[in-house]
Structure 1
């Protein structure tokens, strides 16, 4: 702007200006509520000439990111701030573009409303939303996904907002939308009915199938998950939705895979989860196929061998075998041999069993059957041969074995010592082994460590140990396994059991094998000593196990005196135990409490439930129970089993602040038992709080505090899906009395449930002065509250009563410090502060929240005070407030003066402001100067003379007028006067004359000003000597520069003109510089028969073309002017000029005029002729022709 004014002051005027084109004539857009939106304005020059300027917005909510621009193509970015605006707010105004080619106004209209791109109006009520969801589900889903639900005016409930925010994290947006519609009451949930009839299938094919049937009632979206519990059950997929239903039925095929089926009944189940409920469908599949005979025989053989092994153990080593054990053993042996020819080893086993059961005839027959084969293979199978000989010798001679057999056995003993089958035979026949049982026992231990410990050897070892119990000296892996084997089948004699008992007691650390051995021994020998040993082993466990509770109880009944027995007994008691605790245990802990929490809980709960407070036992335990209850409470232990302690122990008289903080939450805790086991988390959503509380679900149970009835529960399953409803049972953990609740409020006012209660009372306007002030002071400490709820709370406190009164001054002071005030509450608070006269505090509210919510009268009053207090200095918020009032036609002299000092905008707006300032008796400061400069920059010069008049008023100009600005103004007026033919005030010519005289040389005045001033002088009747001198100086200066114009001929009346001006007629044409013209002319009558002469018409100045032609008084000049590039020579102007039209101006015309006067006898022509001669002599002397 300054550059253009400086150029203008020097007489330089832009002859061709840019033609600016806007990309849009008006701006219209929808801005999502609570968000901001960006846009841009594109400007370009149509003729390629650069332009420059400034940009302004008439609403601070529509922010221009650039305030200046320049170039041939310009992009201006803007942001529409809709964050703090309500839905349906319309931001209507315009951008003012102040350019060097003029002012441009670009109107805009921005609507704060639903998301852009949605043409359908948002539903205005729940019924409309429900109808839309039923008729246009895709549109509703689009509204949900784009966040338009948050804009619904009927869904402004805080808890619904919290639920909407929580559901956004759901992986299935359609399910989340369905759950929200159900939660807000827009629709009923989809009801699913599952057919729970068990599936039973008689399998025939390689793949068979069953079917699950689910029926649906109601419209909407639903999700079903199905899982199988067994490998032989296969489902097509896991997840099903409402799209899979056909005519409100979903039939899910269930396939059964042959490769995973076993013979007999295959049991499994299909789990169906609908989100709200869980169903288990039992599945039974029986394959129709005959087992392979070989496999069937193999299974029967395995079963028979197992039964044979067990009966052999009882037969050989059992201490109290049944009467029919012999027949059972032979029966199992026959089962092993059924359907095939027994091998030699199996027949030897039959012979051995016949020997043991004294069936000699059968034994002899069996040996005869295998004699030949044993003899034939005696070298390869030496062990079988020796066993055969042993059985034959023993059958014939009894214990007196033949020397030949013994020699053979001794000879082969060393050679075949590595054979484990030989050792039992040696133990029976070799006297050396019989005389040295310790050596035999060590040999067996070595074989065990090598992994060679067959059943027959085990049986011989059991016999050995029963006969020599002193061999048992330690409990290593060998002896522990051997003792467990024998105890399992009741093979041990009392001496061995006692030795094992002593070894168990001497053990220092817990070993799982010892625990099993002790349990087997105590069942075989149920005496007190063995029970003591078992309890000793069990007490070595790190913690007691409930499965041993019966042994703990038995030990206490039999008065086993072991440390920790009572502790383990109490710890092992289940939570729902309702039996009796022995009296001795109750008395034992009257002076020292149990160490573990579980033991304390079991004992103390028994005392509380079985004794009255006035009994001696109750009093003995009362202090312990109080300590336990307080410790559990401070640890945050939330369980059903703890409730009785809190109810009995925590009476108002014993509570302190620490206990009250924890107990305050416990009294609101609920115990939920869910039927849907896939739910693993529960979110508790409070509209008042920032974040939801998340609680785990374990085994279908959860403990959740519920502080307000308006909170909402959100159930999360293992897939991440979220449901607002589920099937569950709810139970409150603790019923608190009114007295207890009042004590908790007093001791723990900062506890979350009481915070929320106090906030609800504040919103309802039920707080007194002190409570309200205390609430405001605590806001900064309550980080749990959401920002929206804080603003709502503050607003309720602000509007609760007339805060402008003196008694509420303290509360006002606290409220205005709160960081959670919103714009509406801040406006109310500022009005109250203003009524109290606290302008600075009210101004602080204006700075924080703007001015749009203020009453105009109070805001004007505040702005007036602030402006005067701050000495009219600039402040953005004060400026915006004053400007807002001004645009609503609310002002006074102070605010007008303030705007005059700081306002910038379009030229028209600034001019109107100056007019109002003049009429409103305001001080315009430098507004006239800024306005004048902007008018000269843009060319918008309506009432510019009046603006200059205001600028030049001495009492309104804080400084001397800017000469450059006035020069530029004068040049601009001269251009309009001479080039455009507009009339301008005479005082401008006076200013031009003074300006010229002030310069060192008058001709330093810009050429345009010289032209305008000489033109003005040419039209005057008379000139003063000073004016004549300036006119003559300027004329000859312009003549020397070739600036010849038709008006200059008129100046010949005041002083001699140059010959070219004095003798010739000037034809002047005003057109456009970029469109050159030619002239065709001829002088009549002498050139009447000739073609007109043509020549280029010289361009003199800013589109003015001048052609000088010599024409005498009796001649007529005929001419036609046309464009140079026009082949048709279409006339732009044409006409005839008679000679002498400028009579009295050039010499020829003067002479002709004097001759006419002499011929007519008129007087005075002699004097004129004499004067003309003198003037001609002077011209020839001082201005000789070249």
Structure 2
């Protein structure tokens, strides 16, 4: 037997109970989300009981008059509040009523959250137009933890628009309200830096960098970031590029970035960073040498495509060196190899190439590519007339087995020396028709690391009467003409000894 009707208004705390007599109960339903339950004598409740709802009073004018007579009546009040909350926009008067409702202890937390959302949007709009007195105090009083992230973001935006950047920064730090427009983020960072607020540099740096990524070009922001920011090489390069583009001060950003690139093996944009570094600030010899070493190794050992600017810097560095003997051998190897790719060398480059090649030869460093430089500079005959085998290892010891055809039938252990940082070299003088077959093994492996052959070929180095060329010609002459050519060779050799006596230490005139 139903005894009572229990009514729950979502906007108000608690329950409202009305008598159910003779199968009827008169209950106020101010909003369409009102919940009605039926309760029997034992306290059981039912959502449906075969009941039929019927409006007892449908006089709009009477209801309006009731509101004017007793506006604070709870049910009329919540109906009015719900209507305001559902509107797309409210005015200042309604905002004040909603603020008052936020202080009403009878209103539920869920409904206050909806009211708060409306007020937050209202005051954000007000910040752009006409600010209401007391709005700052109200926004300060809000428990931000009751809001969702979108509403917190709106309040943060409002604080920025009002110039209350310290409040906005506190919200970002506490709640992560960092999804700001480019304009708001730029304004926030600029005002924080102008006011010289004592705040967490790490968070501010992240905000500043995000602002720069979004296109901010404020000089004060770029100056601060260039001085303080340390991040990935990619991000630091982007920052440096932006700062130089707008003419901001870069402090020591070029040096920090170049050092980080060098020691983190990040090579993208390293050439441009080096150019900015040497052209914009006093340089460190250590960093310059590290850069040249990295680029020389990358070109000579890893076969990376060379940058023209890098070799121009390298040339300039070597030309200003007071002692060619002190130039790192790796630089000399890289630059001389680079010169072999050129069709033309200037006189200055030829002089440098000659000095570097002879420096390498003096150090016992031999490469076959020296021969390609013979069109530019004099190369010793013993280099031009030798077949040079070079093999680069990753640090393991290697062994050479070789044979010279047509004389040798079997491979024999041969000498190969480590001439420079795991570059191994072996040389042989081959005449026309001879072939040097070789196999290179590692210490603990019976499978060749490399096998191949080098053939004796005629060499044109503009010295027609060199002993090697003469002997090489003899090797290719048919037997029918060999006797005459041998006599000619012996005659020339004897005349050379008579005309050009070699003076040795201790000899007399």
Residue 819 (str. 1) matches residue 108 (str. 2): no
Please point out which of 930, 937, 941 is paired with 2:267. 941
Q: How does 1:1076-1155 map to 2 (within 5 A)?
A: 1078-1082=400-404, 1088-1091=406-409, 1093-1095=411-413, 1097-1098=416-417, 1100-1101=419-420, 1104-1109=423-428, 1111=429, 1118-1122=435-439, 1124=441, 1132-1138=451-457
Residues in 1 aligned to 2:44 and 2:315: alpha-carbon distance in whole angstroms: 87
TM score, norm. by length of structure 2:
0.63
Aligned match of 2:484: none
Q: How does 1:569-580 map to 2 (within 5 A)?
A: none
Report the alpha carbon displacement of residue 941 of structure 1 after superposing the two structures with TM. 2.0
- Decide whether the 8 Å contact of 2:67 with 2:76 is kept in 1: no
Residues in 2 aligned to 1:1102 and 1:784: alpha-carbon distance in whole angstroms: 82
Compare 973-982 and 706-715 and name the one that shifted more.
706-715
CA distance change for structure 1 residues 808 and 996 in 2, over 3 Å: closer, same or farther?
farther
- CA offset digits 1:709-756 (Å, max 9, x no partner): 52325679999998643457999xxxx99999778766x9xxx76874
Please state which structure has a larger fraction of its residues in strand.
1
- CA offset digits 1:1112-1140 (Å, max 9, x no partner): 7x666522344538989797442213487
Aligned match of 2:294: 972
Report the alpha carbon displacement of residue 972 of structure 1 after superposing the two structures with TM. 0.4
Report the alpha carbon displacement of residue 947 of structure 1 after superposing the two structures with TM. 0.8
CA distance change for structure 1 residues 1133 and 890 in 2, over 3 Å: closer, same or farther?
farther
- Decide whether the 8 Å contact of 1:772 with 1:811 is kept in 2: no
| 5+ long unaligned stretches in structure 2 | 55-61, 473-487
Report the alpha carbon displacement of residue 891 of structure 1 after superposing the two structures with TM. 5.0
Residue 712 (str. 1) matches residue 38 (str. 2): no
Aligned match of 1:987: 313
Report the alpha carbon displacement of residue 901 of structure 1 after superposing the two structures with TM. 5.0
Residues in 1 aligned to 2:17 and 2:7: alpha-carbon distance in whole angstroms: 6
Residues in 1 aligned to 2:417 and 2:18: alpha-carbon distance in whole angstroms: 97
| 5+ long unaligned stretches in structure 1 | 1-277, 279-670, 675-681, 1181-1186
- CA offset digits 1:606-631 (Å, max 9, x no partner): xxxxxxxxxxxxxxxxxxxxxxxxxx
- Decide whether the 8 Å contact of 2:217 with 2:246 is kept in 1: no
- CA offset digits 1:628-671 (Å, max 9, x no partner): xxxxxxxxxxxxxxxxxxxxxxxxxxxxxxxxxxxxxxxxxxx9
- CA offset digits 1:654-698 (Å, max 9, x no partner): xxxxxxxxxxxxxxxxx9527xxxxxxx79462x57x87598999
Residues in 2 aligned to 1:744 and 1:1076: alpha-carbon distance in whole angstroms: 104
- CA offset digits 1:930-950 (Å, max 9, x no partner): 432443345442342211111
Residue 772 (str. 1) matches residue 98 (str. 2): no
Residue 950 (str. 1) matches residue 276 (str. 2): yes
- CA offset digits 1:746-772 (Å, max 9, x no partner): 6x9xxx768745643542569764663
CA distance change for structure 1 residues 1009 and 784 in 2, over 3 Å: closer, same or farther?
farther
Residues in 2 aligned to 1:921 and 1:874: alpha-carbon distance in whole angstroms: 27
Aligned match of 2:132: 808
CA distance change for structure 1 residues 870 and 1128 in 2, over 3 Å: closer, same or farther?
closer
- Decide whether the 8 Å contact of 2:385 with 2:459 is kept in 1: no
Q: Across the two proteins, how many residue pairs are aligned to each other?
A: 459
Report the alpha carbon displacement of residue 796 of structure 1 after superposing the two structures with TM. 1.5
Residues in 1 aligned to 2:96 and 2:246: alpha-carbon distance in whole angstroms: 45
- Decide whether the 8 Å contact of 1:1116 with 1:1138 is kept in 2: yes
Residues in 2 aligned to 1:844 and 1:714: alpha-carbon distance in whole angstroms: 46
Please point out which of 1022, 1027, 1039 is paired with 2:351. 1022
- CA offset digits 1:957-980 (Å, max 9, x no partner): 5xx545443332122012023213
- CA offset digits 1:14-70 (Å, max 9, x no partner): xxxxxxxxxxxxxxxxxxxxxxxxxxxxxxxxxxxxxxxxxxxxxxxxxxxxxxxxx
Please point out which of 663, 668, 673 is paired with 2:4. 673
SS of residue paired to 2:390: strand
Report the alpha carbon displacement of residue 879 of structure 1 after superposing the two structures with TM. 4.9
Residues in 2 aligned to 1:1108 and 1:799: alpha-carbon distance in whole angstroms: 84
Aligned match of 1:797: 119
Residues in 2 aligned to 1:922 and 1:1056: alpha-carbon distance in whole angstroms: 51
Residues in 1 aligned to 2:167 and 2:93: alpha-carbon distance in whole angstroms: 22
CA distance change for structure 1 residues 859 and 881 in 2, over 3 Å: closer, same or farther?
same
Aligned match of 1:760: 82
- Decide whether the 8 Å contact of 2:311 with 2:335 is kept in 1: no
SS of residue paired to 1:953: helix
Aligned match of 1:920: 246
Residues in 1 aligned to 2:471 and 2:44: alpha-carbon distance in whole angstroms: 114
Report the alpha carbon displacement of residue 815 of structure 1 after superposing the two structures with TM. 2.3
- CA offset digits 1:525-555 (Å, max 9, x no partner): xxxxxxxxxxxxxxxxxxxxxxxxxxxxxxx
Larger Rg: 1
TM score, norm. by length of structure 1:
0.31
Question: Once superposed, what is the RMSD of the aligned Cα atoms?
Answer: 6.1
Q: How does 1:161-560 map to 2 (within 5 A)?
A: none
- Decide whether the 8 Å contact of 1:761 with 1:767 is kept in 2: no
- CA offset digits 1:410-442 (Å, max 9, x no partner): xxxxxxxxxxxxxxxxxxxxxxxxxxxxxxxxx
Residues in 2 aligned to 1:932 and 1:878: alpha-carbon distance in whole angstroms: 24
Residues in 1 aligned to 2:7 and 2:286: alpha-carbon distance in whole angstroms: 74
SS of residue paired to 1:1108: strand
CA distance change for structure 1 residues 756 and 1135 in 2, over 3 Å: closer, same or farther?
same
Residues in 1 aligned to 2:220 and 2:46: alpha-carbon distance in whole angstroms: 62
